[in-house]
Amino acid sequence: MWSDVSQRNAAAAAIQRSAVPGGAPFLQVQGLAKSYQPGRPVFAGVDFTMDRGEFVCIIGHSGCGKTTILNVLAGLDTASGGHVFMDGREVAGPGLERGVVFQGHALMPWLSVRRNIAFAVESRWPGMKRAEVNAQVERYVAMVGLSQAIDRKPSELSGGMKQRVGIARAFAIQPKMLLLDEPFGALDALTRGSIQDELMGIVRETGQTVFMITHDVDEAILLADRILLMRNGAQGGDGQWIPGGIAQAVTNTLPRSRTRAGLHHLDGYYPLRNHIVDFLVTAGSH
């Protein structure tokens, strides 16, 4: 059933792209490969596209290369083969048109929340006046619900608050694309759910394009328009090495207005969840 759905959605997406001048999607990943040992690539032949404003999650077992793919998209790592094009230009290194949020908040401990975010804004727009910088910072701090903590330092914040600052900093530079590497993985369930809600709200308000790594199936179903299922590399029965790669791209057909509280009540939720879990149990690790 799901393969038929995926094929229909892929065909529809191709038709939609062909109607756009130039026919090129916002992000194109072509033949991406990464090797650390000769003859044993972690992954190879990774091909996928993303449309502007799309939210894509990638799920797979540890070691399949998810973070490496994200780092290549961010320009923080180089692939052994293949190409990445964003908005018609090849990604060849880091750039402020891509915002990155890792599991660790990576805040500068000697600076306040305000100055941590202002530093990024000033780097993005060197000529921006101080009042404009402050207005930009305050807007995105308010979006993540931290206005009351804007002049505190990271040591005065909880783990969840630090992650909120990291998200605000990434959005404040108004990147063309946001890259999230399990940003909520170390948080407790209540805090994680709260920040998921905030992220959904900001993404809907800004129309942000997002590529996110997660191990949480429900998080992917809640947030993503499309979910990429990645398999690990493995030794084949004939002794040949089979690289990892994208095994399936599953389109999330649940209403985009979905909420955490109502997710499991939606028609189609359990078949979608079971499909992803079955893949992870039976196919994702080999």
Question: Quick one: three-class SS letters along 147-197?
Answer: HHHCCCCHHHCCHHHHHHHHHHHHHHCCCCEEEEECCCCCCCHHHHHHHHH
More confident call, 6 vs 209: 209
Enter the tokens of residue 151.
């002049």
- CA distance linking residue 103 with residue 164, whole number of Å: 11
User: Does residue 259 surpass a pLDDT of 70?
Assistant: yes
More confident call, 112 vs 16: 112
Instruction: Using pLDDT thresholds of 50, 70 and 90, give the confidence band for residue 200.
Output: confident
Strand, helix or coil for residue 146? coil
- CA distance linking residue 157 with residue 77, whole number of Å: 31
- CA distance linking residue 7 with residue 249, whole number of Å: 9
Question: Which range has highest mean pLDDT (32-36, 101-105, 194-198, 258-262)?
Answer: 32-36
Mean pLDDT taken over the chain: 87
What pLDDT, on the 0 to 100 scale, is given for residue 23? 63
User: Does residue 135 surpass a pLDDT of 90?
Assistant: yes
Domain with CATH 3.40.50.300 in the chain: 25-97+177-286
What pLDDT, on the 0 to 100 scale, is given for residue 143? 87
User: Does residue 267 surpass a pLDDT of 70?
Assistant: yes
Q: What predicted TM-score, i.e. pTM, was given to this entire model?
A: 0.86
User: Does residue 141 surpass a pLDDT of 50?
Assistant: yes
Superfamily for the 25-97+177-286 domain: P-loop containing nucleotide triphosphate hydrolases (3.40.50.300)
Q: Which residue is associated with the tokens 């903590």? A: 149
